[in-house]
Chains A and B, each alone.
Chain A
């Protein structure tokens, strides 16, 4: 008789953490907005430190949950020499937005803490972080941890307990391949985290582009330079991350038509927008600069659209 009871009980424990996480995240969001609006430089430093620390602790809780899964969920079968254990990546399903926000907090921390950066420079970062904190309060990783994997685990448990039946054997085989080619694929541990690093950097650049678009007098060179560096750095991670996905797609979807599928399309669209932004800045003139700000903002809109596509568009990347 196979039982994953220890996993279930720990899952319940971290679900109890969810309301606390939501309230604290909302509190941080309000604090960022209030302190940035009231121009409280020192308070922003403190809230940046505490919020980063809180998210780091939350990340450790998630990590511990994944270790629990590794220790408690296993698959034994005749074709396996040793039981197959599962260690899910830390950036899937309900943990995506959390991971994204956590990276934003980490990257913004040195900027917000440094006394070199004046309030004008850091204000836009405070607002975008607040927006993400609100989002993560509503789509938190604790209320329903890894829902798809959880349903797979419960189905695995019942399949393992009725091992002789045909559907159970086929389910166990499917689970085995899913662990091998999805959760434990080396690409899974490179491709998504690189993309999330780029997303975090692009997110931090977005409010600067918005401000540059709506500023009527000459563009703030500090904003321009800073947002450009953020996008340029993010672009390196995005390009490398997307390219790494190519051999994975060939390997994992060899029998499926994945080229021209919606998620691939919009990801390339987003990459093209950021590439266009960087090209528009090669020979900066006044009007090309303005175009680049619009392209920068549009690129971020396409990023959000790309992320959301997974949930409402069909295709090989779909969760729908």
Chain B
């Protein structure tokens, strides 16, 4: 039975696959061009290639951001969550029309980061708690991990080349790594925690 949660995951996997194929194509394209012209990477054509690849990657990358926001609904488990997610997407589209892609991605990623922190606080305060403790740790890990990715895109797109890019980038790296550890090894982390604090 394919439900909303599953179809989001399948779609995400499919977008990952499309992006992976795009990167593979790009590699072979450069290899082929370099066979024809050994100085290809110093040529003007190389800059055109970068522009073209950025263009081709935009759609799947935007789709990933949308999926990241849609996944928030899956993680929310409360009534108004769908409304919040739809609002984020609608305002991002609005920002795209008025201010352009950079601001749109900036709004979508920053608002989803903030919303994920709100969900994390709800989870930790016990408003939305799974019955098993390790599931709670895993869920917290997943929220931290995905908020890290939202923040990473925020650092790379709207903050690109600004003085805030690298500090925000390192915060996102910290969140991603912590999130990965908690989300993949939640049960093990809980055991270690209990051992250390004699619980």
Residues on A lying within 8 angstroms of B by beta carbon are 229, 232-233, 235-236, 239-240, 243-244, 246-247, 250, 257, 259-262, 265-266, 268-269, 272-273, 275-276, 278-280, 282-283, 285, 288, 291, 295, 302, 309, 312-315
Complex formed: what's the CA distance from A280 to B34 in Å?
A: 36
Interfacial chain B residues near A259, Cβ < 8 Å: 50
CB of B181 closer than 8 Å to a CB of A: yes
Return chain A residues, CB-CB under 8 Å to B24: 265-266, 269
Chain B contacts for A273, CB-based, 8 A: 16, 20
**Can you show 7 pairs from A to B with CB atoms below 8 A apart?**
A257-B50, A260-B26, A260-B50, A269-B23, A272-B17, A279-B16, A282-B9
Nearest 9 pairs of A and B residues by beta carbon: A232-B184, A276-B16, A269-B23, A265-B23, A262-B27, A272-B20, A314-B34, A265-B27, A269-B20
CB <8 Å contact, B180 and A315: no
Complex: A282 Cα to B6 Cα, angstroms: 9
B16 near A244: Cβ-Cβ < 8 Å: no
Question: Which residue of A243, A247, A314 is within 8 Å of B30 (Cβ)?
Answer: A314
**A136–B34 Cα gap in the complex (Å)?**
30
Stretch at the interface among B41-49, B89-97, B109-117, B121-129: B41-49
Q: B184 near A260 (CB under 8 angstroms)?
A: no
Q: Within 8 Å of chain A (Cβ to Cβ): is B185?
A: yes
- Would you call B193 an interface residue if the criterion is a C-beta within 8 Å of the partner chain's C-beta atoms? no
Is the contact region of chain A dominated by helix, strand, or loop, or is it mixed? helix
Chain B CB within 10 A, most for which of A232, A240, A262, A273? A262
Partner of B173, one of A243, A269, A288, A314: A243
Given contacts A236-B181, A244-B173, A279-B13, A314 and B23 within 8 Å (CB-CB): no
B58 interface residue per 8 A CB criterion: no
- Is B157 part of the binding interface, using a Cβ–Cβ cutoff of 8 Å? no
User: If A236-B180, A247-B169 touch, does A266 touch B12 (CB 8 Å cutoff)?
Assistant: no
Which of the listed residues B9, B46, B185 has the most CB atoms from chain A within 10 Å of its own CB? B9
A-facing residues in B6-36 (Cβ within 8 Å):
6, 9-10, 12-13, 16-17, 19-20, 23-24, 26-27, 30-31, 34
B5 within 8 A of A: yes
Q: Cα distance A29–B54 when bound, in Å?
A: 45
Residues of chain B within 8 A (CB-CB) of A268 are 19-20, 23
In the complex the two chains form, what is the Cα distance from A266 to B28 in whole Å?
Answer: 10
A232 and B185 in contact (CB under 8 A), knowing A244-B173, A280-B9?
Answer: yes
CA distance A12 to B49 in the complex (A): 46
**Is the beta-carbon distance between A239 and B177 smaller than 8 angstroms?**
yes
B134 sits at the interface (CB 8 A)? no
Residues of chain B having any CB pair with chain A under 8 Å = 5-6, 9-10, 12-13, 16-17, 19-20, 23-24, 26-27, 30-31, 34, 40-41, 46-47, 49-50, 53-54, 152, 166, 169, 173, 176-177, 180-181, 184-185
Q: Give 14 new A-B contacts, CB below 8 A, not counting A247-B166, A260-B26, A260-B53.
A: A233-B185, A236-B181, A239-B177, A240-B173, A261-B41, A262-B27, A265-B23, A265-B27, A269-B19, A272-B20, A276-B20, A279-B9, A313-B27, A314-B41
List B contacts of A279 (CB < 8 A): 9, 12-13, 16
Known contacts A236-B177, A244-B173, A272-B19; is-contact A265 B26 (Cβ 8 Å): yes
| Residues of chain A contacted by B47 (CB below 8 angstroms) | 257
B12 proximity list for chain A (CB < 8 A): 276, 279
B54 to chain A, nearest CB (A): 8
Cβ distance A243 to chain B, nearest Cβ, rounded Å: 5
In the bound complex, CA of A122 to CA of B37 (Å): 49
Residues of B within 8 A of A233 (CB): 184-185
A230 → B minimal CB distance (Å): 11
Kindly list chain A residues whose C-beta atoms are within 8 Å of the C-beta of B34: 314
Using Cβ atoms and an 8 Å threshold, which residues of chain A touch B17?
A: 272, 276
